[in-house]
Amino acid sequence: MLKKIIDVKIENRKNNNCNKTENYILTCSHPHVYTLGKSGNENNLLINNSIIKSQKLDYYKINRGGDITYHGPGQLIIYPILDLENFFTDIHKYLRFLEEAVIMTLQEFNIKSGRIKKLTGVWVDINSQNPKKICAMGVKSSRWVTMHGLALNVSTDLSYFNNIIPCGINDKEVTSIEKETNKVIQMIIVENKLIKNLCKIFEFELKKKYILGRQKNRKLRQQKTFTGVVDHVKRRYCFVSSDEITDDIKIKSRDMKNACCLGA
């Protein structure tokens, strides 16, 4: 998907074409994994490899910006794959747009949130002595095409953050939508609201919604829900049926031609 967009851009420049590039929003949930950004500090991982293995966790160094974070069940992951030349060529503005969409979404759950100067992401209780991070962000771009994205804690087991110094910030806590509202919140509701607000902020219209995975039976394919996970080692998006998701899920590769995406 990413390569397809970049190939179009390269072809346009080489032959002075004006072929349009597509934009996508991928939504997924990960198994338990810690990821360290390219500018991160390994000392912010507070457990050793033996503990990682015994608790069936994973740990990868990846090529996004930022420091260390945790991904796992109950966390909504959004990976926008956008050609910013269709919008604006400013990574800082792009991050602020992502933050604003999350802030708007949290407001719909009566959660007041905002930004903290010099700290990327979305926070609650920003004016208190103990602000808490509810959404982490780490992005990368190639030829102005974005990769990676945001992680919003919905019903996340926050105890997994105790094994790291989240985002390399040792004097701030993390929180979730369920913790802030003291209510059980369905992931699909949050996902739909956040996608709607991303459409508003970036001023694009969602034109297609694809179903994840390969199914021989078209009717089954239309009905079945799939979830995406990322193979950080080979840096590719992979998808599995949601009824196959377990805490110790093994990555299953799928052809990106049949990947689920929300097309903008």
- Please give the positions annotated as active site: 167
d(CA 116, CA 124): 10
Q: Contact at 8 Å (CB) between 173 and 162?
A: no
What backbone phi and psi angles, to 5 degrees, belong to 225?
-95, 135
- CB 67 within 8 Å of CB 41: yes
Helix (H) or strand (E) run with residue 13 in it: helix 2-15
Between CA 136 and CA 244 the distance in angstroms is 27
User: C-alpha 132: how far from its chain's center?
Assistant: 19
How far is residue 246 CA from its own chain's centroid? 19
Following CA atoms 247, 250, 255, 261 in sequence, which dihedral angle do they give, to the nearest 10 degrees? 10
Phi and psi angles of residue 34, each rounded to the nearest 5 degrees, phi first: -110, 135
The Cα–Cα gap between 84 and 37 comes to: 22
Answer for the pair 122, 103: CB distance below 8 angstroms, yes or no: yes
Contact predicate 105/200, CB 8 Å: no
